[in-house]
Amino acid sequence: MDPTLTWSVWRDWRAPRIRTLAADWVARCVMLMALATMPVYAESEREAVWDRFEVEATLETRYERLSNRDLDAATADDLAVFKPELSVDIGYRFSDRVSGFLSLDAERRFVVDQGRDRTPEQDQSALDLKELYLDIHDLWDRVRLRAGRQEFEDRREWVYDAELDGLRVFFERQGLALEASATRENIVTENLLEKREPGRVNHYFLLARFTPAAQHDLEAFYLVFDDRSEDAENPVFLGLQGQGRVTDALDYWFALAQVRGREGSTRLRGQGFDLGATYRFDTGWTPAITLGYAFGSGDSDPDDGVDRNFRQTGLQDNSYRFNGVENFQFYGQTLDPELSNLSIATVGFGIRPSRRSSIDLIYHRYRQAEAVEGRLRGARVRARADGEHRDLGQAVDLILGYHEISQLRLRTKLGYFMPGKAFGETASNAYSVEFGVEYRF
């Protein structure tokens, strides 16, 4: 049976109750917390309350600049910002079975420079509630429950990197880990300094992680998005991803996914994959070469009632590292597109001058799967492809990371995008800059 049809029938039957359940999640979390912590005071009182706390703090400052995002040298649309940020993480152990976690970010965003042709932007402040959850361990044999706002993140952030509100159940046993969750984004607004409407998309996730052999990991996922807004987009994702080490010198990764479901009356039918490998040479500074290729299907006939464009979940960040110490946008620092109607060939070369420092030089080549007019989905560059040419261009990134000083991290990320024929002969180059300093207390 088509899993999309099964989900559609279930959703229609459950729709009235889903809206009520989503609104009740916060109340349920509070009730669970109260019930779970009742046994705390029956335990030994010899342990000081402060010994139950774990506190970490991070102070980070970043300078970011994006230049010529419309690929038109005649307009000035640059934007440069300076962002100091303080993050505080607090863990508390109520008992041997119950623990809680709180993560807060305080950030100030200063606009340092902006082009005259750009819509003016103002300085902004934010106090973000990143995570607030309760963990109940050994709820049943090898079963753990997490309730509240929590982070969802896969290793390469190809599927998701987001904080979602709801319930999540974990089961682990001998190389097998299972997860099931029901969540919604921003039931309570993330920025506590502003008022926003709560999200209207319910997420239902099933994951299975395997370790078939030492240093090899596999993850299968089934993700359902139930959009309760007027412009409903209800994709269903089914996929498999993995990574591992073949030898001491060779690492690999892969991700395969298909998207089904509906967007309004249009059926969704797309496929995508991302695969690559890194080889390290056993010489001084450990030079390494990385080869990667990613593809997201396109749609050659937009009027047939079937959208064959692959798209990612919308919760992804596409950030990881090759052989260095610093993460970066592995589809390009400047373009940074979503993998949709797109192929990306990547070649990287990196060195490790010391154990905790690295320099990476990365090259990307971009092509549309189908020549389609319009903006690239999710891209930082806002220029429109002409719909006649598939060549989108190429990019070079330089990533430097230095972590040798205890608790201090320094990073520099430079990106340069050179547009191809799809953006027209007059299109000019774009670049991005990021400098960051991070100190962990």
CB 147 within 8 A of CB 167: yes
Q: What is the pLDDT of residue 197?
A: 81
> Which of 277, 341, 334 minimizes the C-alpha distance to 312?
341
Give the domain extent around 94: 3-41+61-440
User: Residue 377 domain-assigned?
Assistant: yes
112: CATH: 2.40.160.100
User: Residue 51 domain-assigned?
Assistant: no
Q: What is the pLDDT of residue 79?
A: 94
Q: What is the pTM of this model?
A: 0.89
Q: What is the pLDDT of residue 205?
A: 98
Residue with tokens 């390290």: 280
Q: What is the pLDDT of residue 120?
A: 85
User: Which parts of the chain sit beneath pLDDT 50?
Assistant: 1-23, 25-27, 29-31, 34-46
Q: What is the pLDDT of residue 10?
A: 39
> Which of 349, 362, 370, 423 minimizes the C-alpha distance to 393?
423
CB 294 within 8 A of CB 283: no
Q: What is the pLDDT of residue 47?
A: 62
User: Residue 46 domain-assigned?
Assistant: no
User: Residue 56 domain-assigned?
Assistant: no
User: Residue 245 domain-assigned?
Assistant: yes
When divided into structural domains, the chain yields a total of 1
Distance, CA of 412 to chain centre: 20
User: Residue 185 domain-assigned?
Assistant: yes
User: Residue 49 domain-assigned?
Assistant: no
Q: What is the pLDDT of residue 25?
A: 47
Number of C-alpha atoms within 13 angstroms, CB side, residue 369?
A: 22
User: Residue 167 domain-assigned?
Assistant: yes
β-sheet bridge partners, residue 202 = 184, 226
